């Protein structure tokens, strides 16, 4: 046999021995390595999650609607007698007190008519007194005496009418307010204003002032007359008020109900017709203020958060969003105090033991 054949056979045998020795020689170390890996898997370190303590706070659920300011009441001043405007006592835009004279109509011949009416009363009183004496003595009939009494009463009625006409020459404010407009000038002739279109002026009652808004049919049942509220004016100021009126008939077009918030306005600083946002507290709910990133969605679509209990076990708890702001969310449905998983909740499951890491100052609140 050639030497090259011996060399090939030797190499083949050597390779076979080397392969077989590698397999059988590693049995012990391989088994040991597998057992070590299994032990490591059974005793692996808990997942680390970042947590923050949270305490429920009373959150006031508030209804916010856009409205406008209105005068509590307004009225057109009209002349109740005819004549020439003799004087204007209150300037347009001025403040008037109840009963204050706004304008005066010239008396003209009214003083003379008053004197005549007073004279007639004196005349018929004397005639009635004489008639009564004659009737008592039998010298005058009861019918004649009754006629004398009727003449006296007619004279009194005429005197009262003249006095009322004179009083009506002074056009007075029916209540305190602002004389927003004036429709006459000195020298204008006015007539009895009942049924007329021309008004001497218009007075608005500005204290208190009303803030009027429309509330949806879903929310109106949660309000009551006497509830406290606020109005945030377009100028930036906020004023407190009380609900004084809640409509019981909806607007057909919008299905909304009129409400009125009464706001004190002693210095008339709040004008009528200004845009305002009405804030009406509805209820107080114990709520936690959290970051939106702490929320998770369950398989059934419900919102919730993951918390860590005293044994460092993860629990999932459902929540209801009460309100949202630019900084976070107010949620209800949690215990008063919880340890909330803020980072890492997506990588742990309910029932799993974790290693909570509380970062200093991590207590989550509205101020954080």
Q: Is residue 353 part of a domain?
A: yes
Neighbours of 56 (CB within 10 A): 18
Count the residues in the chain.
368
Do residues 229 and 330 both lie within one domain? Answer: no
Q: Compute CA 191 distance to the chain's CA centroid, rounded to the nearest angstrom.
A: 45
User: In the prediction, which pLDDT does 8 show?
Assistant: 47
Q: Does pTM top 0.75 for this prediction? A: no
Do residues 278 and 294 both lie within one domain? Answer: no
Of 190, 225, 242, at which residue does a domain stop? Answer: 190
User: In the prediction, which pLDDT does 133 show?
Assistant: 75
Question: For the purposes of burial, counting CB atoms within 10 Å of the CB of 190, is it exposed (0-12), middle (13-18) or buried (19 or more)?
Answer: buried
Output helix, strand, coil percentages for the chain, rounded to the nearest 5.
Answer: 30, 40, 35
Q: Is residue 249 part of a domain?
A: yes
Q: Which of 265, 261, 330 is nearest to 291 (CA)?
A: 330
Of 190, 215, 249, at which residue does a domain stop? Answer: 190
Of 242, 264, 283, at which residue does a domain stop? Answer: 283
Q: Is residue 147 part of a domain?
A: yes
Do residues 153 and 230 both lie within one domain? Answer: no
pLDDT along the chain (368 residues), means of 10: 44 44 40 34 77 92 93 91 92 90 93 94 88 73 80 94 95 91 88 67 93 93 92 92 94 93 92 94 92 88 92 93 89 93 90 86 47
What's the structural domain count of the chain? 3
Q: Is residue 300 part of a domain?
A: yes
Do residues 278 and 259 both lie within one domain? Answer: yes
Do residues 293 and 254 both lie within one domain? Answer: no
Q: Which domain holds residue 111?
A: 77-190
User: In the prediction, which pLDDT does 141 show?
Assistant: 72
């Amino acid at each position: 046999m050639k030497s090259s054949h011996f060399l090939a056979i030797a190499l083949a045998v050597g390779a076979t021995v080397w392969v077989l020795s590698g397999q059988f020689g590693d049995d012990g170390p391989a088994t040991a390595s597998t057992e070590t890996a299994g032990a490591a898997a059974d005793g692996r370190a808990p997942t680390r999650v970042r947590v923050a303590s949270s305490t429920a706070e009373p959150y006031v659920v508030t209804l916010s609607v856009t409205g406008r300011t209105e005068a509590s009441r307004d009225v057109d001043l009209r002349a109740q007698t005819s004549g020439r405007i003799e004087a204007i006592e209150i300037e347009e835009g001025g403040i008037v007190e109840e009963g204050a004279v706004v304008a005066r109509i010239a008396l003209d011949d009214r003083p003379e008519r008053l004197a005549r009416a007073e004279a007639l009363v004196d005349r018929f009183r004397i005639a009635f007194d004489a008639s009564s004496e004659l009737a008592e003595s039998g010298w005058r009939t009861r019918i004649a005496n009754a006629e004398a009494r009727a003449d006296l009463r007619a004279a009194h009625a005429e005197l009262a009418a003249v006095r009322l006409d004179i009083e009506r020459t002074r056009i007075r404010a029916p209540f305190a307010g602002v004389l927003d407009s004036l429709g006459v000038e000195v020298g204008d002739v006015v007539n009895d204003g009942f049924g007329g279109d021309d008004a001497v002026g218009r007075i608005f009652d500005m204290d208190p002032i009303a803030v009027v808004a429309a509330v949806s049919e879903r929310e109106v049942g949660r309000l009551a007359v006497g509830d406290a509220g606020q109005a945030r004016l377009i100028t930036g100021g906020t004023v407190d008020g009380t609900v004084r009126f809640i409509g019981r008939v909806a607007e057909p077009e919008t299905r909304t109900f009129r409400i009125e918030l009464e706001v004190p306005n002693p210095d008339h600083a709040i004008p009528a017709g200004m845009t305002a946002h009405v804030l009406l507290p509805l209820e107080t709910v114990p709520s936690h203020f959290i970051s939106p990133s702490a929320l998770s969605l369950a398989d059934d679509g419900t919102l919730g958060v993951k918390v860590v209990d005293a044994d460092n076990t993860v629990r999932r708890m459902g929540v209801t969003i009460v309100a949202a702001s630019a900084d976070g969310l107010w949620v209800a449905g949690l215990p008063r105090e919880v340890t909330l998983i803020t980072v890492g909740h997506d990588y742990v499951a309910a029932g799993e033991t974790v290693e909570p890491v509380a970062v200093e100052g991590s207590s989550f609140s509205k101020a954080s």
